């Protein structure tokens, strides 16, 4: 059982602030405190990062978690996320077109896009997205 009283006599977390799952409720205006188990190597890396950014280990862990969580979120770019082959191909064409040299003629741009989308002729038999022709 966790002692809810600090040795100085101050009341830390009253039982009314404990949820049924026994995790402390986050009180308005207070940040949650969490304990995590870290290897010595990871702790050393975090401490080095914290020192380089002139912050405490606690603040560094919070910053690194925020960076990691934001980095793992898919970007909301309006691009199709479906498995629709036509939508995927259109998206690929749009992305390739943005990467091509703008000084190319429209005909050359189209040729290069088709070549990238369709791939080399020698691999046509290997493509799984095209119907098989007996031959």
Lowest pLDDT segment from 26-30, 32-36, 78-82: 78-82
- CB of 96 closer than 8 Å to CB of 113: yes
- Distance separating alpha carbons of residues 64 and 49, to the nearest angstrom: 9
- Amino acid 20: pLDDT: 59
**Residue 36 or residue 21, greater confidence:** 36
- CB of 80 closer than 8 Å to CB of 91: yes
- Amino acid 28: pLDDT: 67
């Amino acid at each position: 059982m966790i002692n809810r009283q600090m040795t100085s006599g101050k009341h830390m977390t009253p039982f009314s602030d404990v949820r049924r799952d026994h995790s402390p409720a986050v009180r308005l205006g207070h940040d949650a405190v969490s304990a995590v188990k870290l290897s010595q190597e990871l702790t050393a890396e975090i401490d080095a990062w914290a020192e380089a950014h002139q912050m405490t280990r606690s603040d560094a862990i919070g910053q690194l978690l925020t960076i990691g969580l934001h980095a793992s979120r898919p970007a909301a770019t309006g691009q199709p996320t479906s498995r629709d082959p036509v939508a995927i191909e259109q998206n690929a064409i749009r992305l390739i077109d943005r990467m091509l040299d703008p000084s190319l003629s429209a005909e050359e741009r189209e040729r290069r896009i088709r070549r990238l989308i369709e791939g080399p002729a020698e691999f046509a038999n290997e493509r799984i997205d095209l119907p098989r022709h007996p031959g």
